[in-house]
Amino acid sequence: MPLDPQQKAILDAMASRRADPNATPQQRRDAMKSMPRAKGPAVYQTTDRIIAGPVGSIPIRIYTPPGTGPFPALVWFHGGGWVVGDLEMADGTARQLCANADCIVVSVDYHLAPEYKFPIPAEDCYAATAWAHKSAALFNIDPNRIAVGGDSAGSNLAAAVTLMAKDRGGPKLAFQLLVYPVTDHNYGTKSYQENATYGLNKDSMVWFWDLYLAKPADGKNPYASPLQAKDLKGLPPALVITGEFDPLRDEGNEYAKRLQAAGVKTVNTTYPGVAHGFFGQWSVMDKAKQAVAQASKELKEAFSRQPAGVR
């Protein structure tokens, strides 16, 4: 179908703010911080903490809904190509998911590339997930109902965490929410060819991947490219959301197919007429509101399938 009119308006407005291809990672981070963001709904409480990580401290922000708990929890990893992004960029979406899914959200400010290359961001995210499980009682989290999720590079990290948890014997995860995930170090898909003019494109993904990977061979590592994993059996149920006009559409949909073929309960939705980044545009786009509502519904249903309070 044609580009959604609301999506077109957003892309037109963003055209004048496109990243300078010669900008440094820090300049791109500064530009991202200067962009206006919609504030999400109020939640009962937010708490900023610092936790220990493999290479140093990791800031996190904990969003708590009203109620008595113990609450299910979503550990959320922001997008930004592993290079940009922070807790503030993720704040509105974290609030949306906390309020709409009635769950605690633990937003993770993992170390960024190129200062910290693969596998450090993925290891940070695994460490934060393990911390949420271990510290569940301190924050009124039900340790048997913990999910992971993220958008773009953040959902790449979420998928990596599910593989790590499987390989390392835990923690047991209830769900994975993958929003237009990066799943493969590969630019040869049809969606890369078709969607070169809607914001994210091959050149930007090459830039991100080159800064993230310590060496080219890392692109074949399943913790960097989950689609390269030989065995996806036993992973938690998933929702995979993609956009019709996103270069990452095909690799996200292919990962969903691989999960389904491995017997993993997986819902795969491609939203028509939208481009990369649409999920975070819920304040101005109806399809983004629909996607957030779907994500919240699937999270609640996944949490309801787990027996509460079992360690």
Please identify every residue annotated as catalytic. 152, 246, 276
Q: Which of 160, 129, 163 is nearest to 146 (CA)?
A: 129
Q: Which residues of 57-68 are buried (b: 16+ CB within 10 A; e: fewer)?
A: ebbbbbbbbeee
Q: For residue 80, what are the contacts with CB-CB under 8 A and spacing of at least 6? A: 32, 89, 112, 152, 153, 154
Q: What one-character-per-residue DSSP string does 166-208 give?
A: HHHT----SEEEEES----S---SHHHHH-SSSS--HHHHHHH
Q: Hey, is 96 helix, strand or coil?
A: helix
Parallel/antiparallel/unpaired status of strands 45-53 and 71-77: unpaired
Tokens of 171: 């923690």
> Would you state the structure tokens that stand for residue 191, as one six-digit string?
């969606």
